[in-house]
Amino acid sequence: MRSGVSATRTAVRLDRALRERRILVVCGSGGVGKTTTAAALGLRAALRGRRVLVCTIDPSRRLATSLGLNQLSGRPRALDVGRFGPPPGGAMWAMTLDTKRTFDALVERHTADEEARRRILENRFYRQVSSALAGSHEYMAMEKLLDLSADERFDLIVLDTPPTRHALDFLTAPDRMMGVLDTSVLRWLLKPYFVAGRLTLKVATRTGALALRLADRALGLQFLQDLSEFFLAFDGMYEGFKERAARVHELLRDGGSGFVLVASPARTTLDEALYFHRRLRDGGMPFVSFVVNRARPDPSQVALRERGSRAGRRSAPSVDPELLDKLAAVFRDQKRIAAAERRSIARLEARTGEALVVVPEMEADVHDLRGLKEIADALFEGVVPRRRGEAREGRRAVAVASGPGEREP
Amino acid sequence: MMLDELLSKRLVVLSGKGGVGKSVVGAALAVAANSRGRRVLLVEVDAPLEAARFLGARPAGGRETEVRPGLFTVNLDPTVVMDEYVRHIVPVELLWRRILESPVYHRFFAAAPGLKELMVLGKVMVLEESRTGFPRRPRYDLVIVDAPATGHGLAFLKVPLAASEAVPVGPVGHNARRILKLLRDPERTGLVVVAIPEEMAVVEAVQFHRMAVEEVGIHASALVLNACHERRFTEAEEAEVLRLASEGASGRVAAGIGLAGALVAARRHIRRRKLTRFYQTRLKRALPLPMISLPFLFEEELGPDSIRLLAARLEAA
């Protein structure tokens, strides 16, 4: 399945997406380097003349680290990419999502008057939902995305997401929100009893009374009261919310959007990438490319690449036998891991029919713009040839010639 | 030492950035505790691939399953836990059937932020509290929870606090406060922060520790630094490796292994080892916690042998 040509073609496709799309959503399971990839892709686009905003909805705020900044605010902040000499117009911003502020802004946008606004913002249930609880991030990420997509300052928005399972939440957030706002039954159940702001169990129908009593048992009257106040307060906003949710739904399926799936070469994360790929397809969302991060180098390959550049090397020096044994052991360990990763990657390629863009592990940890530039270069190595030839075909040839004791596919 | 401290708890919560190997650490901890004669339950939440696979066992799913004598695993699905809760509080079958089948219920559950987390933590509390036999004794000596990856892991642990503030009275608030009490009890509960020697994971571990301790009020017991590259050459050998590499030496190391390739591998190893040391030092300074380093394992897939090896390291720490 795997060939240097198709991998390069994938990189070209990814590169084209960076030039042409308006929104790129970067997804994957935890710890695979989504944030770093999102930032590297953003940088690449900026260095090709686009005005790019990289936005993370990751509540653990990793983007700041990968950009070498201590803090990123809830507002776009311009990064200094001048030292890489971007073409005219090329610029880059970064931001993290401030869930609470986004939620408040949404409420302010949709409430008719000061009184309605105050009722919501002061509702106990709202206060917790908007800031603390898991799940709010996804709602607000989609809201913010819609907001940003209309922002004239940016040509491209690269959106980083939380780990896979939650990134799926993100994708379905618009639909779920519409679902909940649509729960006319819930409103039917709660509304009559709370109109006056207080609760009574004396209700018209026996079914209604029973349902309410059960809900009380499960959740408690106070909770129901807060909840119903919350729903009542949102009453005037249903239409606005619904409309925005529908627009996000469309936006994510639009030709101007694209999804990049990031994985590490470990088998488990590749399996998750496969699952996610299927979900995107089923959901009718435009898939652009896989990126497999930090593939561990095959040491004999690296040696082969480096050899040509060295002149006047000595041959067969005398080395202590004990050191030779240790060298052999360290070599075998790394070779084994590299081979295992290659097998996993080949498996994902075979099962999806997509070529993967593979980014080799960097010499040092990446957490600044310079490191991001290196990754961006590595991502598109085949697109703009940097080193002599392309190592990928060569890697295979040597893998076969590596001799006994090495497991190869 | 570290193990003694953890074994004195009833509940150990593992947390860290995604991809740091929390489930491997959880499995190793469970095996270590089990080999000291404890009845252990390893709880995962909505895990796509269960830690049971490291123990050579089949996935447990939502049922507590004994994978070896005294070692149980379970993989909680929040939806199923919620359904169980509804059945528990609604005694009449016809009624709960109607509730569980109603679209309103499903939509509400899918959309209500925090409800899933609260349900799962409630279930963990129930598991911790469950008693068996006569005279009654705890069903499990130790419950180990593999919390979802950090950003959400913290949200996960914050939910009881948020819920107890949002809903001060009624059963939700009551249960949220009970969960919070369990989490905040240093006698019963300990947090284990898991990281790997990489910038992002380290930054996150420090952040997470601060937030968990300050905001949730949970007692942190230990830091596990996973996937460490440990020294394999003496200092003189490292110097020799670098010298040979700079000279572009070639030749053979063993059958089928060229010196050039072996030197590349050795240099990479030295680089990784130094990074490991760097982050170990940094974490020691940043976190007032006992730190245990676990080695990086060069295996394609980790199995019972690897877990035993890691468990032995935890035991020795």
Which one of A60, A102, A345 makes the best mutation probe of the B interface by having the most chain B beta carbons within 10 Å? A60
pLDDT value of residue A391: 36
Q: Please answer yes or no on whether B170 and A222 come within 8 Å at the CB atom.
A: yes
pLDDT value of residue B2: 79
pLDDT value of residue B184: 96
Residue B58: partners with Cβ closer than 8 Å, 6 or more residues away: B52, B65
In chain B, the residue whose alpha carbon lies closest to the alpha carbon of A323 is B237
The model's confidence at residue A221, banded by pLDDT at 50, 70 and 90, is low
C-alpha distance across the termini of chain B, in Å: 6
Most distant CA pair in chain B, distance: 81
Q: What is the share, in percent, of chain B residues with pLDDT greater than 70?
A: 92
Q: What is the share, in percent, of chain B residues with pLDDT greater than 90?
A: 61
pLDDT value of residue A397: 30
Please report the ipTM that was assigned to this predicted complex.
Answer: 0.90
| Dihedral (CA of B29, B33, B35, B39) sign | negative
Q: Which of B20-24, B103-107, B220-224 has the highest mean pLDDT?
A: B220-224
Interface of A with B in 197-236 (CB under 8 A): 214, 217-223, 226
**Is the pLDDT at B248 greater than 90, yes or no?**
no
What's the token pair of residue B121? 């933590």
**Is the pLDDT at A194 greater than 50, yes or no?**
no
The model's confidence at residue A176, banded by pLDDT at 50, 70 and 90, is low
Query: What number of other Cβ atoms are within 10 A of residue B236's Cβ?
Result: 10
Nearest-neighbour CA in chain A from B31: distance (Å): 22
**Is the pLDDT at A196 greater than 50, yes or no?**
no
Which has more pLDDT, B137 or B172?
B137
User: Which of A15-29, A158-172, B273-287 is predicted with the least confidence, judged by mean pLDDT?
Assistant: A158-172
Beta bridge partners of B76: B45
**Is the pLDDT at B62 greater than 70, yes or no?**
yes
A272: chain B residues, CB-CB within 8 Å: 48
Q: Please answer yes or no on whether B113 and A129 come within 8 Å at the CB atom.
A: yes
A161 touches chain B (CB under 8 A): no
Average pLDDT over residues B146-171: 73
Peptide bond into A409 cis (omega under 30): no
The model's confidence at residue A387, banded by pLDDT at 50, 70 and 90, is very low
């010196």: which residue's tokens? B259
What is the CA angle A114-A119-A122, rounded to 5? 115
The model's confidence at residue A56, banded by pLDDT at 50, 70 and 90, is confident
Of A135, A315, A328, Cβ closest to residue B250: A315
Which has more pLDDT, A92 or A185?
A92
A189: chain B residues, CB-CB within 8 Å: 104
Nearest-neighbour CA in chain A from B36: distance (Å): 30
Which has more pLDDT, A392 or B295?
B295
Q: Angle between the B103-111 and B78-89 helix axes, to the nearest 10 degrees?
A: 130
**What backbone torsions phi and psi does residue A396 show, to the nearest 5 degrees?**
-65, -45
**Is the pLDDT at A197 greater than 50, yes or no?**
no
Cα radius of gyration rounded to whole Å, chain B: 23
Instruction: Please report, as a single letter, which amino acid is at residue B148.
Output: P
The model's confidence at residue A152, banded by pLDDT at 50, 70 and 90, is very high
**Is the pLDDT at A75 greater than 60, yes or no?**
yes
pLDDT value of residue A167: 54
The pLDDT mean for chain A works out to 76
**CB distance B9 to B39 below 8 Å:** no
**Is the pLDDT at A352 greater than 50, yes or no?**
yes
**Is the pLDDT at A398 greater than 50, yes or no?**
no
pLDDT value of residue A106: 81
pLDDT value of residue A340: 93
**Is the pLDDT at B71 greater than 90, yes or no?**
yes
**Is the pLDDT at A394 greater than 50, yes or no?**
no
User: What is the CATH topology of the domain spanning A4-293?
Assistant: Rossmann fold (3.40.50)
**Is the pLDDT at B10 greater than 70, yes or no?**
yes
Cα radius of gyration rounded to whole Å, chain A: 26
The model's confidence at residue B274, banded by pLDDT at 50, 70 and 90, is very high
The model's confidence at residue A129, banded by pLDDT at 50, 70 and 90, is low
Q: Please answer yes or no on whether B207 and A60 come within 8 Å at the CB atom.
A: yes
pLDDT value of residue A339: 94
Q: Which of A16-25, A227-236, A314-323 has the highest mean pLDDT?
A: A16-25
pLDDT value of residue A199: 47
pLDDT value of residue A259: 94
pTM for this predicted structure: 0.83
**Is the pLDDT at A165 greater than 70, yes or no?**
no
How do residues B279-311 score in pLDDT, each as one tens digit? 999 999 999 999 999 999 998 889 999 999 999
How do residues A237-270 score in pLDDT, each as one tens digit? 667 777 887 888 889 888 999 999 999 898 778 8
User: Which of A8-17, B25-34, B81-90, B223-232 is predicted with the least confidence, judged by mean pLDDT?
Assistant: B81-90
pLDDT value of residue A168: 61
Domains of chain A, residue spans: 4-293
Beta bridge partners of A52: A92, A156
pLDDT value of residue A191: 52
CA B225 to chain CA mean position, Å: 12
Cα–Cα distance list, A205 to A193, A210, A211, B13, B225 (Å): 12, 9, 10, 47, 60
Query: How far is Cα A116 from Cα A114, in angstroms, rounded to an integer?
Result: 6
In chain A, the residue whose alpha carbon lies closest to the alpha carbon of B299 is A337
Nearest CA-CA partner of A251 in A386, A147, A361: A147
pLDDT value of residue B208: 87
**CB distance B167 to A227 below 8 Å:** no
The pLDDT mean for chain B works out to 89
**CB distance A130 to A230 below 8 Å:** no
Q: Domains (ranges, CATH) in chain B?
A: 2-230+290-316 (3.40.50.300)
Residue A248: partners with Cβ closer than 8 Å, 6 or more residues away: A142, A143, A145, A146, A173, A174
**CA atoms within 13 Å, Cβ hemisphere of A304:** 20
The model's confidence at residue A204, banded by pLDDT at 50, 70 and 90, is very low
HEC profile of A71-113: CCCCCCEEECCHHHCCCCCCEEEEEECCHHHHHHHHHHHHCCC
Average pLDDT over residues A117-127: 79
Which has more pLDDT, A240 or B110?
A240
Q: Residue A86: left (phi > 0), alpha (psi -120 to 50), or beta? A: beta
**Is the pLDDT at A406 greater than 80, yes or no?**
no
Which one of B17, B89, B167 makes the best mutation probe of the A interface by having the most chain A beta carbons within 10 Å? B167
Cα–Cα distance list, A172 to A167, A245, A262 (Å): 9, 10, 19
Residue A210: partners with Cβ closer than 8 Å, 6 or more residues away: none
Query: How far is Cα A284 from Cα B112, in angstroms, rounded to an integer?
Result: 26
Q: Which of A180-189, A194-203, A223-232, B70-79 has the highest mean pLDDT?
A: B70-79
